[in-house]
């Protein structure tokens, strides 16, 4: 088993991906946000005809600068996935639909559950119904969250583990996943369901700490501020660099054997939050850390140790992470130091 930072023996080759995506029509919902924009940039560089749909909801991370390297190569439609007319139009003639749009803050869902229900559940149903009616041969990739599992029963967590999410956000993601599975099984809308772990890297929102803990730690270090490590810092997580996440999505979309399947997308070598903070401070050469008690909101949804079993996606699709934590942090720090004015308030 190879470790992050070493090339996987069956890792996706750029030339192979270029052959498969060159000239293909692709829709990315939520494509101006963190993962979506990284995916859009990569697909455009592979020669795909990329359309982005994004409502640009405040604080969700939509940022025109995210697609600056390929701005002239992609089409952007500012619309909401709950708009059936817009989705009916945008899905037409698409070969691939990457569905990333939704309410993305699990802390917000504690006080207001309705955006989760409206965006993640209703919005997903609108997208899938549009595909069923107007693009039934498109392949769909959905990005859910490791939070759908809830507290882990055994570690690492595989795809057969029980799903007992602790919040409305995670429940809405699980429901969206099940809606898409129904369209796969009943309506033959070929779909792949990914449960993604803690992603970090360039193009994430950096204005607040409500989601993306690793990136928020990076901001604090760059600003020479104090990173607060909750509890005793020993909680385990797997932190996935965004380029590796995009690789998994691209490979899943083109793999026939992935149809109808659920795959974990993460790192099977976990890191404690204390190790994460120390690594970021060391790489950045600035910042400091201290222990802090959990806030009531975070304590309510803290699932404890979690890291993914990725043996299924490794065996079936040949994917595994290739970027070690230190290298991923280095690239992230470098990107935000260079482009700070586009991400800080």
Average pLDDT rounded to a whole number, residues 171-186: 98
The tally of CA atoms less than 13 A away on the side-chain side of residue 159 is 16
Query: What is the model's pLDDT at position 63?
Result: 97
3-state secondary structure of 287: coil
Average pLDDT rounded to a whole number, residues 153-162: 96
Does the structure show a pLDDT above 90 at 80? Answer: yes
Does the structure show a pLDDT above 90 at 327? Answer: yes
Q: Does an H or E element contain 34, and which?
A: helix 34-45
Strand bridging mode 271-272 / 236-237: antiparallel
Does the structure show a pLDDT above 70 at 2? Answer: no
- pTM comes to 0.94
Percent over 70 (pLDDT), the chain: 95
Does the structure show a pLDDT above 70 at 301? Answer: no
Could you identify the residue written with the tokens 């025109």?
64
- Of 60, 149, 169, 241, which is the active-site residue? 169
28-49 confidence digits (pLDDT tens): 999 999 999 999 999 999 999 9
Domains of the chain listed by start with CATH number = 14-201+240-268+307-323 (3.40.50.720)
**Sign of the torsion formed by the C-alpha atoms of 307, 311, 317 and 322:** positive
The tally of CA atoms less than 13 A away on the side-chain side of residue 188 is 2
Whether the CB-CB separation of 172 and 163 falls below 8 Å is answered with: no
197-240 confidence digits (pLDDT tens): 999 999 999 999 988 999 999 999 999 999 999 999 999 999 99
176-190 burial, b at 16+ Cβ within 10 Å, e below that, comes to bbebbbebbeeeebb
Query: What is the model's pLDDT at position 322?
Result: 96
243-284 confidence digits (pLDDT tens): 999 999 999 999 999 999 999 999 999 999 999 999 999 999
Query: What is the model's pLDDT at position 11?
Result: 53
Whether the CB-CB separation of 239 and 212 falls below 8 Å is answered with: no
Q: Distance between CA atoms of 88 and 127, rounded to whole angstroms? A: 8
- Name the H helices within 197-324: 213-222, 242-254, 273-284, 296-301, 311-317
Does the structure show a pLDDT above 90 at 341? Answer: yes
Active site residue 169: yes
Query: What is the model's pLDDT at position 9?
Result: 39
Q: What is the DSSP code (8-state) at residue 76?
A: E
Does the structure show a pLDDT above 90 at 14? Answer: no
- How many C-beta atoms surround the C-beta of residue 153 within 10 A? 10
Mean predicted lDDT score pLDDT of the chain: 94
| Selection from 125, 115, 127 nearest residue 31 by Cα | 127
Does the structure show a pLDDT above 60 at 8? Answer: no
Query: What is the model's pLDDT at position 253?
Result: 98
Backbone dihedral region for residue 169 (phi beyond 0: left; psi -120 to 50: alpha; all else: beta): alpha
Percent over 90 (pLDDT), the chain: 86
- How many C-beta atoms surround the C-beta of residue 105 within 10 A? 17
120-138 confidence digits (pLDDT tens): 999 999 999 999 999 999 9
């Amino acid at each position: 088993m190879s470790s992050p930072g070493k090339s996987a023996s069956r890792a996706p080759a750029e030339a192979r991906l270029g052959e498969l995506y060159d000239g293909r029509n692709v829709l990315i919902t939520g494509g101006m946000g963190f993962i979506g924009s990284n995916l859009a940039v990569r697909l455009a560089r592979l020669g795909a005809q990329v359309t982005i749909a994004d409502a640009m909801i405040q604080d969700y991370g939509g940022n025109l600068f995210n697609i600056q390297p390929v701005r002239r190569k992609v089409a952007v439609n500012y619309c909401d996935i709950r708009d059936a007319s817009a989705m009916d139009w945008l899905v037409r003639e698409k070969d691939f639909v990457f569905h990333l749009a939704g309410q993305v803050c699990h802390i917000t869902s504690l006080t207001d559950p309705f955006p989760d229900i409206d965006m993640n559940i209703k919005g997903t149903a609108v997208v899938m119904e549009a595909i069923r009616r107007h693009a039934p041969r498109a392949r769909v990739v959905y990005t859910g969250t490791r939070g759908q599992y809830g507290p882990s029963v055994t570690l690492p967590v595989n795809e057969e583990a029980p799903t007992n999410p602790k919040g409305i956000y995670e429940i809405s993601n699980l429901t969206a996943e099940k809606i898409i599975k129904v369209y796969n099984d009943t309506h033959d809308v070929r779909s792949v369901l990914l449960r993604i772990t803690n992603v970090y890297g360039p193009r994430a929102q950096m204005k607040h700490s409500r989601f993306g803990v690793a990136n928020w730690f990076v901001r604090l270090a760059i600003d020479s501020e104090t990173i607060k490590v909750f509890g005793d810092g020993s909680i385990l997580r797997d932190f996935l660099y965004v380029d590796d996440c995009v690789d998994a999505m691209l490979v899943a979309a083109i793999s026939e054997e992935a149809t109808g399947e659920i795959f974990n997308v993460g790192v099977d070598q976990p890191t404690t939050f204390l190790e994460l903070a120390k690594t970021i401070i060391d790489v950045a050469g600035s910042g400091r850390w201290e222990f802090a008690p959990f806030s009531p909101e975070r304590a309510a949804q803290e699932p404890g140790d979690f890291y993914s079993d990725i043996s299924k996606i490794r065996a079936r699709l040949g994917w595994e992470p290739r970027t070690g934590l230190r290298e991923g942090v280095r690239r992230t720090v470098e990107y935000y130091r260079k482009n700070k004015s586009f991400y800080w308030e």
